[in-house]
Amino acid sequence: MVEPSDAVQIWLWIGTIGMALGALAFLFMAAREKPGNRWFHTITFFVAGIAAVAYLAMALKQGWFPILREGQDMAEPFYWARYVDWFFTTPLLLLDLALLAGATKEAIVWLLGLDVMMIATGFFAGVTASDIRWVWFIVSSVIFIWLLWVLLAEILGAARQRPPEVRAKFNQLAVLLAVLWTVYPILWLLGTEGFNVIGITGEVATFAIIDLIAKVGFGFLLLSNRKVLEAARPGAV
Ligand code: RET
């Protein structure tokens, strides 16, 4: 029977506590604002809050089962709770960016639709024991490249119409997102779901660190400048 090691457990608890503290901080930051001016705080709170729940489940040794993958000689834990987290939180992160850019509703639907397709097909890649998983990995990666294209063509175009301080914040966050999100498929390849180069501990540790940067770090960067949020407030949405 595969059991998560103590080192894996420590990283899952670091993820849980980091996400929970981030969610609390965003809640306090929201409380300083008037109702109607808390769009970004609310979205970002749920990003960290949902991740805290998923990490807590994994830290409590739930949300996983062992899989013996083709080409590997030992069963490894497959943490499906990760994908549940990503399925809900990655669209919310993109929504933050799209609202900051003042993107059209149509562009927002494209961006979020591609994102949930990317995570759903990524889940199939992770849950499949046979080499069919590579088909899913490729499908998910193609959708990811499409998503980045929509972000850089459509959403970046919309951001150009925004006041300079909003545009600058958008650019900063879009670069962070594009670079950081590209690490995920690479880490997937290096981890147990791909070629198993770094092992389960290396995988869980690195995911915990980049998850915290992609959610809590991103959230602080977004919410740190109240002038930007005031100027970018979605009116009729
Ligand atoms: C997978 C594997 C299949 C190919 C691709 C992937 C991309 C995942 C991404 C995840 C982003 C997660 C974030 C979490 C925040 O905490 C599913 C790993 C392309 C981009 C930002």
pLDDT for the residue 235: 66
The greatest distance separating any two alpha carbons of the chain, rounded to the nearest whole angstrom, comes to 57
Cα 172 to middle of ligand 1, angstroms: 20
Residue among 63, 109, 120 nearest 87 (CA): 120
CB neighbour class for 47 (10 Å; exposed up to 12, middle 13-18, buried from 19): buried
Question: Which positions ≥6 away from 209 have C-beta within 8 Å?
Answer: none
Q: Which atom of ligand 1 is nearest to the CA of 193?
A: 2
Cα Rg of the chain, angstroms: 18
Backbone phi and psi for residue 98, each to the nearest 5 degrees, phi listed first: -65, -40
Alpha-carbon distance 173 to 42, whole Å?
A: 18
Per-residue pLDDT tens listing for the chain (237 residues): 578 999 999 999 999 999 999 999 999 999 999 988 899 999 999 999 999 999 999 999 999 999 999 989 899 999 999 999 999 999 999 999 999 999 999 999 999 999 999 999 999 999 999 999 999 999 999 999 999 999 999 999 999 999 999 999 999 999 999 999 999 999 999 999 999 999 999 999 999 999 999 999 999 999 999 889 988 987 634
Would you say how long the chain is, in residues? 237
Q: What pLDDT, on a 0 to 100 scale, did the predictor assign at position 36?
A: 86
Q: How many CB atoms lie within 10 A of CB 169?
A: 24
Please give the number of the atom of ligand 1 that sits closest to the Cα of 136: 3
DSSP letters, 154-166, are IIHHHHTTS-HHH
pTM: 0.96
Ligand 1 lining (C-beta closer than 6 Å): 51, 86, 89-90, 118, 122, 125, 137, 140-141, 144, 181, 184-185, 188, 211, 214-215
**Domains by residue range for the chain, with CATH:** 6-232 (1.20.1070.10)
